[in-house]
Structure 1
Amino acid sequence: MTRIFPVLSSMALLSVLAGCATAPPRVATAAPTPAPPAPAAPVATDTDWRDLPLSAGRWSYAAEASGSAARFGSPDKPALVIRCDRAARRIHMVLAGTATGALTITTSYAGRDLPLVAGAAGQSEASLAAADPFLDRIAFSRGRVSYAVPGQPLLMVPAWAEPARVIEDCRSGA
Structure 2
Amino acid sequence: MISIRLLTTLAGIAFLSACAAPRKPEPAPLPAPPPPRPVATAIPAQPPADWRDAPATAGAWSYVPGTAGSAALFANDPAAPLAGLRCDRPGGRVALSRAGAAPGPLPLTIVTSTLTRAFTASPESGATPQLSLQFAPRDPVLDAMAFSRGRFVIEVAGLPTLYLPAWPEIARVIEDCR
TM-score category (smaller protein): 0.7 to 0.9
Counterpart in 1 of 2:81?
78
- Which of 139, 164, 167 aligns to 2:171? It is 164
Q: Secondary structure at the match of 1:64?
A: coil
User: Secondary structure of the residue that 1:67 maps to in structure 2?
Assistant: coil
Report the TM-score, using the length of structure 1 for normalisation.
0.74
Alignment deviations for residues 106-134 of structure 1 (CA, whole Å, 9 cap, x no partner): 11112111121112312221111111111
Mapped contact 2:48–2:54 kept (Cα < 8 A): no
Q: % of aligned pairs identical?
A: 44
Match of 1:67 in 2: 69
Matches within 5 A, 1:131-142: 131-142=138-149
Cα displacement (A) at 1:40: 6.9
Q: Which amino acid aligns with 2:63?
A: Y
Q: Give ranges in structure 2 of 5+ residues lacking alignment.
A: 1-24
Contact 1:70 1:166 in 2 (8 A): yes
Structure 1 portions without partners, runs of 5+: 1-23
1:102 alignment partner AA: P
Give the Cα separation in 2 of the matches to 1:159 and 1:81.
Answer: 12
Q: Would you say how many aligned residue pairs link Structure 1 and Structure 2?
A: 150
Cα contact 2:149–2:166 (8 A) shared by 1: yes
SS in 2 for 1:33: coil
CA distance in 2, matches of 1:97, 1:27: 68
Superposition deviation, residue 142 in structure 1 = 1.0
For 2:109, the aligned partner's letter is T
Superposition deviation, residue 31 in structure 1: 2.7
Paired AA for residue 111 in structure 1? T
Superposition RMSD in Å? 2.5
- Tell me the residue number matched to 1:89: 92
Matches within 5 A, 1:49-60: 49-60=51-62
CA distance in 1, matches of 2:48, 2:39: 23
- Deviating beyond 6 angstroms after TM superposition, the runs of 4 or more aligned structure 1 residues are 38-42
The one-letter code of the counterpart of 1:48 is D
TM-aligned CA distance change 1:78 to 1:44, over 3 Å: closer
Q: How does 1:11-30 map to 2 (within 5 A)?
A: 27-30=28-31
